[in-house]
C-alpha cells in the first residue's frame, strides 16, 4: 500500500509544496507548487524594516495543497520553515501585521541594552544559543514599544502560525522554539529563568504569549482547507503532523548516515549554511560561547550543535544585483563555468562578517572587504562567485574543526544536504579544505526529512533515526568527493587570510 505525505517547505528565498509517495522502501517526490519568498522593504519612521509577505506564502501553500489533493489522497501534512521569526495574534486570533524578517535592523538599538541587564554568558549557560542579532528574544524586546505589542496575545513562530491557520490549534514545535533563545536545551522546555528576566527587565510578558511546546511526531489536528478535498486513503480528514519544523532539523534527519554509531559532520547548505554535528547533549561551555556555537534541538531528543554560516545568500544577492544591472547570460551553466575557470583562492574574505547579512550592494561589500584585508578585488563575475565559494569552504573547515574540539567528538565524514549539494566545486573544495570525505545529497534534504517523520507518525514506518535515514538512502542518490592529497596546506594559508584580524581558531595538537 502506498502512503502519501505532503511537505510544506518554506525557505528564505522560496517556498514549495512537495508530495511524496512511499512504497514501503523508498519515497518518490514530486513538486506540487513553488512560489518566491523575499523579505519586502517596508519604510517607517524608525528603522529599515523588512517584512515577510506571509499572505502571499499562504496563497502559495493553499494552491500547492489543492494540487496535491487533486493528484490523489494525502495521508499527512508537515510544515517546516526557517527559525526565529514570528507572527503576533490578538485576543481574537487575528494576525497583527506581517511578521518582521530577521534581516531587519530593528534589534541593533536594543542588543546593548539587553546585555547590560542580562549577562550574555548567563544567557548562554541557560539556553546554549549562539548570539545572533536576530534571535527571537532580541526581536521581542525591540518590538515592545510598537503598537502591535499592546495588542499581542500569542506569539507563533512561522510554521506554527501556518499550522494554526490550517487546523486552528496553537502550539510551538520544539526544534524551532529552540532558535528563540528561550529554551533550556537539556529539559527541552521554556527556560523559566530567561522568561522571567525578559518580563522583569523589559516588561515583555513572554510567559503569557507562548503556546504549549510539542515534539516532532505529534498529531496537531486535521486540515480543513476550503475547496481542497484533503482526505486520506481511508477517507478521513488529513492530519497535520508536527515535524522538525525548523528546516535544518528536518534536513539533518535526511542525512544518509549509513551507520547509526558513526559521528558525522553536516552542512545544510541553502540560503544559510548550517555547519555542525548531531549530539546527545548540549555543549554550554565558555569556550563554546566564545566560538559562537549554538545548541538547537533536533528530532528524537538530539541536539544540533552548529554554527550559522552566511551560505548561498551572498551568491544570490550578487546575481540579483547583476539582474538589476541588466547583465545577460545569468544561467547556471554559464555561471558555473565562469566560477570553475576563475583562479582558486585568489580572493578570500570572512563570508560570515555582519556586513553580508542585509540585502543591498553585496558586490560593493565584497570589494570593500577585499580592500580592507589586503586581498585582490574580484575582476569578473567568475571571480566574485569563486571568492564566495572559496570563502565558504574556509568557513566550513573552521567550523567543523571547532565543533569536534568543543564537543570532544571526532568525525570522519561530512554530509552536505540541500541545494548546495549540487555545487560540485563547493563540495570538492570542502573535501580538500577539511581533509575529509564529503557525501553530497540529498538535494531535497529538508523535504525528505519532513516526510519521513510524518511517515513514522502515521504508522507507515517504525524505528529510530537510523531507520528513517535508511529510507533517505534508498530514495536519494548521493555523490562522494574525496580530498585531493596534499591540498590542505593551501587551505591553511587561506584560513589565515580570512581570519587574520580575529582571535586564532582552536586547533588540534
**pLDDT tens track for 275-334:** 999 999 999 999 999 999 999 999 999 999 999 998 899 999 999 999 999 999 999 999
Is the pLDDT reported for residue 233 higher than 90? no
Q: What crossing angle do the helices spanning 445-457 and 465-475 adopt, rounded to 10°?
A: 130
Mean pLDDT taken over the chain: 92
Contacts of 328 (CB under 8 A, 6+ apart): none
**208 pLDDT band (50/70/90 cuts)?**
confident
Q: What is the rounded CA–CA span in Å between residue 272 and residue 12? A: 9
- 457 or 227: which leads in pLDDT: 457
Alpha-carbon distance of 25 to 473, in angstroms, equals 10
What pLDDT was estimated at residue 227?
Answer: 43
- Mean local confidence (pLDDT), 123-136: 94
Is residue 195 helix, strand or coil?
helix
Closest CA to 280 of 268, 267, 295: 295
Q: What is the pLDDT of residues 8-19, one digit of tens each?
A: 999 988 999 999
* 503 pLDDT higher than 60: no
Distance CA 450, CA 455 (A): 9
Spell out where 369-452 has E strands.
413-417, 437-440
Q: What is the pLDDT of residue 505?
A: 45
Q: Contact, 449 vs 250, CB < 8 A?
A: yes
Mean pLDDT of 427-443: 97
**C-alpha 165, offset from chain centre:** 22
Q: Is residue 100 within 8 Å of 50, Cβ to Cβ?
A: yes
Which residues, in sequence order, are CB contacts of 157 under 8 Å at separation 6+?
81, 83, 84, 85, 86, 136, 172, 173, 176, 177, 180, 245
pLDDT of the residue at 147: 57
Q: pTM (2 decimals)?
A: 0.92
Query: Is the preceding peptide bond at 442 cis, omega within 30 degrees of 0?
Result: yes
3-class DSSP assignment, residue 154: strand
Distance CA 220, CA 458 (A): 12
> Residue 327 in 3-state DSSP?
coil
Average pLDDT over residues 230-241: 77
Q: Are strands 303-309 and 294-297 parallel, antiparallel or unpaired?
A: antiparallel
Q: Read off the pLDDT of residues 41-86 as tens digits, 9 standing for 90 and up.
A: 887 766 668 999 999 999 999 999 999 988 999 999 999 999 999 9
Q: Where do the H-state alpha helices sit in 172-290?
A: 174-177, 192-202, 206-209, 247-253, 286-290
In Å, how far are 46, 214, 289, 419 from 315, measured between CA atoms? 30, 36, 28, 13
> 143 versus 32: which is more confidently predicted?
32
CA 24 to mean position of chain CA atoms: 29
Q: Report the catalytic residues.
A: 247
CB 185 within 8 A of CB 127: yes
β-strand partners of 489: none
Q: Give pLDDT, residue 413.
A: 96
Angle 184-189-192 from CA coordinates, rounded to 5°: 70
Amino acid at each position: 500500500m502506498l502512503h502519501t505525505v505532503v511537505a510544506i517547505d518554506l525557505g528564505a528565498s522560496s517556498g514549495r509544496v512537495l508530495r511524496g509517495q512511499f512504497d514501503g522502501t523508498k519515497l518518490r517526490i514530486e513538486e506540487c507548487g513553488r512560489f518566491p519568498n523575499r523579505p519586502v522593504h517596508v519604510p517607517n519612521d524608525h528603522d529599515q524594516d523588512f517584512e515577510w509577505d506571509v499572505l502571499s506564502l499562504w496563497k502559495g501553500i493553499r494552491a500547492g495543497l489543492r494540487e496535491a489533493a487533486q493528484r490523489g489522497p494525502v495521508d499527512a501534512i508537515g510544515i517546516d520553515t526557517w527559525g526565529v521569526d514570528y507572527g503576533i495574534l490578538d485576543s481574537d486570533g487575528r494576525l497583527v501585521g506581517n511578521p518582521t524578517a530577521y534581516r531587519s535592523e530593528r534589534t541593533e538599538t536594543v542588543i546593548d541594552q539587553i546585555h547590560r541587564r542580562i549577562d550574555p554568558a548567563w544567557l548562554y549557560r541557560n539556553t546554549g544559543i549562539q548570539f545572533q542579532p536576530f534571535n527571537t528574544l532580541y526581536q521581542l524586546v525591540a518590538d515592545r514599544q510598537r503598537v502591535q505589542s499592546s495588542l499581542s496575545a500569542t506569539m507563533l513562530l512561522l510554521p506554527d502560525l501556518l499550522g494554526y491557520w490550517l487546523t486552528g490549534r496553537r502550539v510551538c514545535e520544539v526544534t524551532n522554539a529552540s532558535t528563540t533563545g528561550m529554551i533550556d536545551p537539556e529539559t527541552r522546555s521554556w527556560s523559566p529563568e530567561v522568561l522571567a528576566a525578559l518580563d522583569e527587565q523589559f516588561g515583555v510578558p513572554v510567559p503569557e504569549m507562548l503556546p504549549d511546546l510539542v515534539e516532532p511526531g505529534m498529531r496537531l489536528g486535521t486540515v480543513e482547507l476550503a475547496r481542497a478535498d484533503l482526505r486520506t486513503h481511508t477517507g478521513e480528514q488529513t492530519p497535520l503532523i508536527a515535524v522538525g519544523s525548523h528546516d535544518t532539523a528536518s534536513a539533518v534527519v535526511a542525512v544518509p548516515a549509513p551507520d547509526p554509531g558513526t559521528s558525522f559532520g553536516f552542512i545544510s547548505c541553502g540560503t544559510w549554511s548550517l555547519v555542525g554535528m548531531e549530539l546527545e547533549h548540549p555543549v554550554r561551555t565558555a569556550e563554546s560561547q566564545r566560538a559562537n556555537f549554538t545548541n538547537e534541538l533536533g528530532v528524537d531528543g538530539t541536539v544540533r550543535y552548529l554554527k550559522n554560516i552566511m551560505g548561498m545568500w551572498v551568491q544570490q544577492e550578487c546575481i540579483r544585483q547583476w539582474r538589476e544591472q541588466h547583465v545577460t547570460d545569468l544561467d547556471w551553466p554559464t555561471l558555473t563555468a565562469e566560477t570553475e575557470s576563475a583562479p582558486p583562492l585568489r580572493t578570500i574574505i570572512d563570508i560570515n562578517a555582519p556586513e553580508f547579512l542585509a540585502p543591498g550592494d553585496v558586490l560593493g561589500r565584497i570589494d570593500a572587504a577585499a580592500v580592507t584585508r589586503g586581498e585582490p578585488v574580484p575582476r569578473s563575475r567568475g571571480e566574485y562567485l569563486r571568492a564566495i565559494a572559496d570563502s565558504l569552504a574556509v568557513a566550513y573547515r573552521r567550523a567543523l574543526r571547532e565543533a569536534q574540539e568543543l564537543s570532544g567528538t571526532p568525525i570522519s565524514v561530512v554530509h552536505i544536504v540541500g541545494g548546495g549539494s549540487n555545487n560540485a566545486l563547493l563540495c570538492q573544495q570542502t573535501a580538500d579544505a577539511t581533509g575529509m570525505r564529503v557525501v553530497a545529497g540529498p538535494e531535497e534534504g529538508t523535504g525528505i526529512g519532513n516526510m519521513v517523520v510524518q511517515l513514522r507518525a502515521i504508522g507507515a514506518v517504525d524505528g529510530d533515526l537510523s531507520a528513517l535515514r535508511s529510507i533517505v538512502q534508498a530514495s536519494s542518490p548521493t555523490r562522494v568527493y574525496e580530498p585531493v592529497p596534499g591540498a590542505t596546506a593551501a587551505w591553511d594559508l587561506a584560513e589565515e587570510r580570512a581570519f587574520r584580524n580575529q582571535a586564532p581558531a582552536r586547533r588540534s595538537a
